[in-house]
Structure formats: C-alpha cells, structure tokens
C-alpha cells in the first residue's frame, strides 16, 4: 500500500538541503547495478543548481519498493559544451534532475 | 505480432491498417492480466472503469488553455510559474485526479518553462517517457522512441530541424531531460500578429508540439502534422 | 495451438536473437571492466547514443494499449507496485533484446504480468492457463 500512502502524504523531511541555487556541483559516477536514473551522460560533469525541488525516495530504493530514504532533489543546469565533446553552440544548455546523494560540491 | 511494420523505415506510406479478426499476443496478455487481477481482488472492474474514464478525458487542450490564459493574464502567468499544479485548478485541471492523490506515474510536481526571445526550451525523457499527462494527455509515440530520446539531448538543433524548427545560434536552446518526478511543459513566446486575439483564438495555435518545444506557435498553425500510424483496434472501437 | 510447421519457423526466429556485443566473447573467464560496465548499464539510459534521422510518427492508440496503461496505473493506485518499480521492470529487467524489440505497452503488460507472478499474487501456471483460455475464447468468436 506504499504507493498510495506516499503520494497522499508528504514524505518525512530529509533535513536541510545541502545545496542552494547557484551552487556548482559535480555528478558522481557511482557503480551501476540493476537500476539508476542518473544518466551516464551527466556523470562526472559539472553543472549549476537551478532549483531545489522536492524531497522524495531515491529511485534505486523505490524501484525495489523499499520505503525509507528520503532525499532532497535538485534541477541541475549544464552547458551542453560540458556534456558533449565538440558541441558547437556556446549558449545551449541542458537541465535534468538529481537526488542529493548523486551530487558533490565542485570547486572549478 | 502479425502486422509487419519495420520501425524507423520512414513510415510515411503506411497503408490503412487492415481489419483483423485475429487477436494479437499482447491483446491476449492484456486481457489475461486484467481479468486475473480482478478475479484475485487486486483491483475492481469499477477501479479500472473509473481510471479509464479519466484517461479518456485528458488531452493537450488543457495545456493550450493554460498557455493562452498566461499570455493574456500576467498575474495568472506568475501563479503558473510559481506553483503550476495549483494554477492548473484555475483552468479546471486537478492533478489529484482521479485517485485523490494524483496518478501513480505523474506525481504532483509540474514546472512550466517560460520561453523568451533568446531562450527556447524543449522536453525529453531520456530514460522512459515522463510527460505531464493531466495537462497534455498521453505522450505521442515519437516522444517514446529511443531515437528521439537518444538524439535530442546531444543534437537538439538537428532534431528540431527535422521537426521543421530552425533557431538561430544566438537563441539558447535548453533541453529539459525529465528524468525524475518533476513534469515539464513549455510556455512559448506569444507570437506577433495575435494582438487583440481572444483566449479561445490563442489556444487554437498552442498545439501539443509547441508545449513539448518541438514547434513554435504562429497564426494559422493549428495542428501538429505527422504521418499517422493507424491502430488495428483503436480506443473506443470495441468494448469487452 | 500452433502446428508443427509454425513451431519450426518460430524456432528459427528465436535463433536470430543474440547478445549484441560485437566483440569476441568465446572465453568469459574474465572481462575487462569497460565490458562489465557495458553489460551492467541500465538499458533505459539511452541519452546521447548514436542514431540516424527518422520520421517522427504519430500512432493511434490501440484499445489494448489504453487498457494496459490503466491496468498498470490501477495496480499502482491499489498499492500492488509503484511506478519506479514498473519502470525498472518494463525498461530494464526485460533485457536489451526485448527492450528494443517489443512495443512500448507490450513491455508494460509483460512487466505487470511478471510482477504479479514474482509477488505471488498469481501463479505462472494460472497465468498460462488464462492466456490459453482467452485465446480460445476469442478464436471461437
């Protein structure tokens, strides 16, 4: 009955968000095993926090129907040039979401 | 599956699907799973009927209304950008439908991405096909293909050009890869030549493709034109 | 039930399904890490992979496709699974050949069926009998 309950009531707070809008972050390259929603193409790349969104379960746990670990999610903005070698347009960007555990501070 | 269609072959010349009496493997599996689930009390036929009714009621017209209203009402636009799920109620869309806590797959985090003359958003879900169903209905088939999902993030200008949308390099293209629990919709720039239009007139040119970001609204453009692959037994053609 | 000739043809189609890592793989005592990573890569993570231009088609929805969507969502509504689990099962656990080869909602319904069996809501034998019964029911119509 987890799904209906978790969607009906906000999950327990995960504590204070570690990052704020404007922070530079690097996406970790954690091992892949069975399930992840952190795309290969953003791993190791440095981007900027564009929004702090919500707190929820992390996909690796939820995909196996486990309750518990609630984390802060962020929208991270990358320059396309930082994602794809030889990307030809300086201005273009890409945004995607990430839970906190996949991000680390980047001092570049 | 007996209908021999090779994906990615261009597909522009599909003949009308033949009327087929034969039931396909997936039709059989779908019936078997649904009937067993009901027989075992996992859900009721009434649950299924109620959700179907909701699924058949959604479509991109709601999104079109939202964009048109945002274009004519700056205060509404601010509310949309601040809390889109809440603002949807003003145009008659309640994200909590049809269960009281939303659908299991759409969650209740909608973010509307505002285009400007120098910023254009386009949406993809590289991992599956996350899409704001309560506001735009079911996603188009091309949005679900590996082709679109592979290429849009890396070659957005090429893919947009294939949709007929060519933007100058000084316009920033921002790809939104919708990979978790936020759902996204594009709020395009109101095109020139629509001054003094009513909300109804404006809504007509805000097609689904404009709200995904693969097209721009303009006067006279009221439909997304793609080759259509016909169903063998389309929704509504039979009820068992 | 299929005839013998049909079953023989079916066998040929099955034999064309092969793992598609186009490298020599005769002795798998050890694998280089990049190859292991390639095998462990979740199939749904396709962003940035090469592909050729295509015509982006619309597809009219089949009744069974809408029914499948609704069945999967109602199973979520009633707490039998959640959507992340559905994505794991339908987009990853089926493996590459089925991920790339089976229609979108075909993967959904296969995932739902497998989940119901895995969680012991229904027995596989029961599902198989039901499938045969449904086939027979519609063959008579």
- Quick check: B218 pLDDT over 80? yes
Per-residue pLDDT, B1:
36
Segment among A71-80, B48-57, C2-11, C103-112 with least mean pLDDT: C2-11
pLDDT in tens, A58-104: 999 999 999 878 999 999 999 999 999 999 999 999 999 999 999 99
- C80 contacts on B by Cβ (under 8 Å): 42-43
- Quick check: B2 pLDDT over 60? no
Of B104, B175, B182, the CB nearest to A94: B175
- Quick check: A5 pLDDT over 60? no
Q: How far is C40 from chain A (nearest CA, A)?
A: 6
Of C56, C116, C141, the CB nearest to B37: C116
Q: How far is B131 from chain C (nearest CA, A)?
A: 13
Of A53, A59, A84, the CB nearest to B154: A84
**Confidence category of residue C34, pLDDT binned at 50, 70, 90:** confident
Alpha helices in chain B (DSSP H): 25-39, 45-57, 61-72, 74-82, 84-88, 133-136, 141-144, 146-152, 156-162, 199-205, 208-212
B105 is catalytic: no
Per-residue pLDDT, B135:
97
B125 is catalytic: yes
Rounded distance between C-alpha atoms, residue B176 and residue A7, angstroms: 24
| N-term to C-term CA, chain A | 45
Tokens of A5: 């309950």
Per-residue pLDDT, B14:
47
- Quick check: B136 pLDDT over 80? yes
Q: How much is the average pLDDT of C111-115?
A: 98
The answer to whether B222 and B198 have CB atoms below 8 angstroms apart is no
Rounded mean pLDDT of chain B? 92
Run of H or E residues at A78: strand A70-79
Q: Which residue has the higher pLDDT, B62 or C38?
A: B62
CATH code at A2-105: 2.30.30.50
Q: How much is the average pLDDT of B140-153?
A: 97
Q: How much is the average pLDDT of B189-218?
A: 98
Rounded distance between C-alpha atoms, residue B182 and residue A97, angstroms: 8
The DSSP string of B67-125 is HHHHHH-HHHHHHHHH-HHHHHGGGT--TTTTTSS--TTTTT-EEEEEPBTTEEEEEE-
| N-term to C-term CA, chain C | 16
Per-residue pLDDT, C37:
85
Tokens of B52: 């179907």
How far, in Å, are B166, B168, B191, B203, B231 from residue B117 at the CA level? 14, 11, 10, 20, 39
Q: How much is the average pLDDT of B134-152?
A: 97
The answer to whether B161 and B89 have CB atoms below 8 angstroms apart is no
User: How big is chain B, counted in residues?
Assistant: 240
Class of domain B60-212 as given by CATH: alpha beta
B182 is catalytic: no
Per-residue pLDDT, B11:
41
Catalytic residue among C96, C104, C105, C138: C104
Q: Provide residues of A within 8 Å CB-CB of chain C.
A: 1-6, 31-36, 39-41, 57, 59, 62-65, 83-84
How far, in Å, are B79, B125, B156 from residue B151 at the CA level? 33, 11, 7
**Confidence category of residue C8, pLDDT binned at 50, 70, 90:** confident
Tokens of B230: 């016909």
Per-residue pLDDT, A67:
84
The answer to whether A78 and A107 have CB atoms below 8 angstroms apart is no
Q: Kindly report whether the peptide bond that precedes residue C137 is cis, defined as omega within 30 degrees of 0.
A: no
A26's CB contacts (< 8 A; 6+ apart) are A44, A45, A46, A103, A104, A105, A106
C104 is catalytic: yes
**Hey, what domains does chain C have and what are their CATH numbers?**
63-141 (1.10.472.20)
Per-residue pLDDT, B20:
56
Per-residue pLDDT, A9:
43
pLDDT in tens, C14-30: 666 665 666 666 677 78
| Coil, helix or strand at residue A24 | strand
Q: How much is the average pLDDT of B178-183?
A: 97
Residue A60 backbone phi and psi in degrees, to 5? -60, -35
Per-residue pLDDT, C17:
64
Rounded distance between C-alpha atoms, residue A45 and residue B153, angstroms: 14
Q: Which residue has the higher pLDDT, B238 or B124?
A: B124
Residue of A nearest to C44 (CA): A37
Q: How much is the average pLDDT of A20-28?
A: 97
Q: How much is the average pLDDT of C100-109?
A: 96
**Confidence category of residue A54, pLDDT binned at 50, 70, 90:** very high
Cβ separation of A3 and C37 shorter than 8 Å? no
Cβ separation of C126 and B36 shorter than 8 Å? yes
Residue with tokens 């095998």: C39
Residue B67 backbone phi and psi in degrees, to 5? -65, -45
* Domains of chain B by residue range: 25-55, 60-212
Q: How far is B79 from chain C (nearest CA, A)?
A: 29
């Amino acid at each position: 009955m987890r799904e209906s309950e978790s969607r009906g009531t906000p999950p327990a707070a995960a504590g204070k968000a570690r990052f704020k809008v404007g922070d530079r972050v690097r996406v970790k390259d954690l091992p892949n095993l069975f399930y992840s929603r952190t795309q290969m193409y953003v791993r190791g790349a440095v981007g900027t926090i564009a929004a702090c969104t919500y707190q929820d379960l992390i996909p690796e746990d939820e995909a196996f129907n486990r309750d518990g670990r609630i984390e802060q999610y962020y929208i991270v903005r990358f320059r396309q040039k930082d994602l794809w070698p030889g990307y030809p347009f300086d201005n273009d960007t890409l945004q995607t979401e990430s839970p906190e555990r996949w991000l680390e501070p980047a001092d570049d | 599956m007996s209908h021999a269609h090779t994906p990615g072959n261009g597909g522009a010349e599909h003949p009308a699907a033949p009327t087929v009496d034969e039931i396909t493997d997936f039709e059989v599996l779908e019936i078997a799973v649904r009937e067993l689930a009901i027989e075992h009390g996992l859900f009721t036929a009434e649950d299924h009927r109620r959700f179907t009714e909701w699924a058949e009621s959604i479509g991109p017209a709601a999104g079109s209304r939202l964009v048109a209203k945002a274009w004519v009402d700056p205060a509404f636009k601010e509310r949309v950008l601040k809390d889109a799920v809440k603002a949807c109620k003003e145009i008659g869309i309640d994200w909590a439908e049809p269960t009281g806590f939303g659908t299991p797959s759409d969650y209740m985090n909608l973010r509307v991405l505002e285009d400007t003359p120098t910023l254009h958003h386009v949406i993809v879900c590289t991992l599956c096909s996350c899409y704001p169903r309560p506001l735009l209905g079911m996603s188009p088939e091309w949005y679900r293909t590996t082709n679109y999902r592979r290429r849009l993030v890396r070659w957005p200008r090429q893919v947009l050009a294939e949709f007929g949308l060519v933007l100058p390099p000084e316009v920033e293209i921002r790809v939104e890869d919708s990979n978790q629990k936020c759902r996204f919709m594009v709020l395009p720039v109101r095109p020139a030549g629509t001054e003094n239009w009513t909300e109804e007139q404006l809504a007509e040119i805000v097609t689904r493709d404009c709200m995904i970001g693969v097209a721009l609204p303009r006067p006279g453009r009221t439909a997304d034109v793609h080759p259509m692959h016909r169903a063998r037994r389309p929704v509504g053609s039979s009820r068992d | 039930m299929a005839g013998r000739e049909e079953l023989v043809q079916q066998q040929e189609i099955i034999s064309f399904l092969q793992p598609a890592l186009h490298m020599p793989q005769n002795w798998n005592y050890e694998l280089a890490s990049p190859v292991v990573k390639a095998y462990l890569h979740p199939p749904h993570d396709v962003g940035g992979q090469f592909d050729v231009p295509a015509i982006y088609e619309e597809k009219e929805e089949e009744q069974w496709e809408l029914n499948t969507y609704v069945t999967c969502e109602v199973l979520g509504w009633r707490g039998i699974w959640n959507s992340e689990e559905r994505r794991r099962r339908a987009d990853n656990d089926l493996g590459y050949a089925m991920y790339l080869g089976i229609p979108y909602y075909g993967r959904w319904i296969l995932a739902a069926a497998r989940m119901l069996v895995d969680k012991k809501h229904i027995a596989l034998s029961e599902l198989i009998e039901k499938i045969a019964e449904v086939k027979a029911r519609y063959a008579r119509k």
